[in-house]
Amino acid sequence: MSEAQAAAVHRIAIVGCGLIGGSLALAWQRAGVAGEIIGVDLRMDHLEAALRIGAIDRALTLDEAIEEANVVVLAAPVGESLMLLRDIARHGLAEGTLVTDVGSTKRAICEEALAVLPKGVSFIGGHPMAGSEKSGIRSASPRLFENAVYVLTPHQDEGPDMKERARKLVAATGAQVLLMDPERHDRLVAAVSHLPHVVAAQLVLQVAELGESDPLYPVLAAGGFRDVTRVASGHPVMWRDILLTNGDRIRPLLERWQAQIHELLVWIDRRDGEALESFFRRAADWRDALPVRGRGAIRPAYQCTVDVPDEPGIIGRIATMLGEAGINLRNIGILESREEEDGQLILTFGTEMERDEALRLLESRGFTVNLRM
């Protein structure tokens, strides 16, 4: 029996029909894991769009959905999901119902679920490490979770049957399922996702302040700086909630970051070239040893650079070439500064497959193309 067949017979309520909720619904519709998928959202246009694209079968109120569903997915930022969890606990959930969420931190909501949900209702926290530069139900895709890490955080006393039920549902989306306790999850993502987002945001604000006195700062930042700080474009409400619910894990990392910055300042003051070189070498060695393929805690950018001649129409030629081959080009940028870059154009794709197809096509047409890792 396939994962999809084994997970079938569910009536799933998706509370929050945005990018993640809509993509989960589409993936489960495609896999055939549900007898019916019900949508709940405060915005009627979200529900109408979800019905139109076939993500949900019906749109109901929260009360109505809770009465009918045996799987409830809270597809909202952490703070909102905490309030939703309290709401559905008051509505009365049937024994044997599975409740999960899609938040980026897990301890707060898992602890709240243990405190408020009635006996016989299972909560297994979830964190799909997938996303898109676009948001909303209109950007939802049944392939969003393919090969992405999807963490589940069951309580230590959760029974094996419910854990397997949740695992099969998630696996049916094409994701790689990892089970771990909420404490370990929040500790890991604090280092590999939350701290980088905070640092990127601070770097952006620093350059923004400098840019008030010199207009060339944003001009130069349009190249590599923009790519390095890409994660600073995250949703402000989501990141507010992440720091509020995982601040005790993020704070010591920031304190350690401060200490390392101080050490760098000491090496600069002492003109300690050996220490500085060792610092950059260790960082480069560890970073270069990371797996090239796969999708971790931070959404990857599938990009390549292309050397092109400085002549009219070259951008249009490349875009047309890719379009005629059926390759979807998400974005195209021009490198104003060519420092440490082999190409002048940066091409961005939605998937690794599209990027690799574009690379082969462009190379076959005589262009020099380099992957951006």
Sequence spans of domains, the chain: 3-180, 185-260, 302-372
pLDDT at residue 73 in the model: 98
CATH C-level class of 302-372: alpha beta
| pLDDT of 341 | 42
Q: Tell me the pLDDT of the chain (373 aa) as tens digits.
A: 345 444 445 899 999 999 999 999 999 999 999 999 999 999 999 999 999 999 999 999 999 999 999 999 999 999 999 999 999 998 879 999 999 999 999 999 999 999 999 999 999 999 998 866 567 898 898 988 988 899 999 999 999 999 999 999 999 999 999 999 999 999 999 999 999 999 999 999 999 999 999 999 988 887 678 778 878 888 888 899 999 999 999 999 999 999 999 999 999 999 999 999 999 999 999 888 876 555 555 566 677 888 887 778 888 888 898 988 988 887 787 765 444 444 478 788 877 788 888 888 988 988 888 877 6
Predicted confidence at residue 351, as pLDDT, reads: 75
CA distances from 224 to 227, 305, 307, 345 (A): 5, 12, 16, 12
The superfamily (CATH) of domain 3-180 is: NAD(P)-binding Rossmann-like Domain (3.40.50.720)
Q: What is the pLDDT of residue 293?
A: 55
Q: Are 112 and 86 in contact (CB under 8 A)?
A: yes
What architecture is domain 185-260? Orthogonal Bundle (1.10)
pTM of the complete model: 0.77
Q: What is the model's pLDDT at position 316? A: 87
In terms of C-beta distances under 8 Å and separation of at least 24 residues, what long-range contacts does 364-369 make, across chains too? 365/321, 367/306, 367/307, 367/308, 367/318, 368/306, 368/307, 368/342, 368/343, 369/304, 369/305, 369/306, 369/307, 369/343
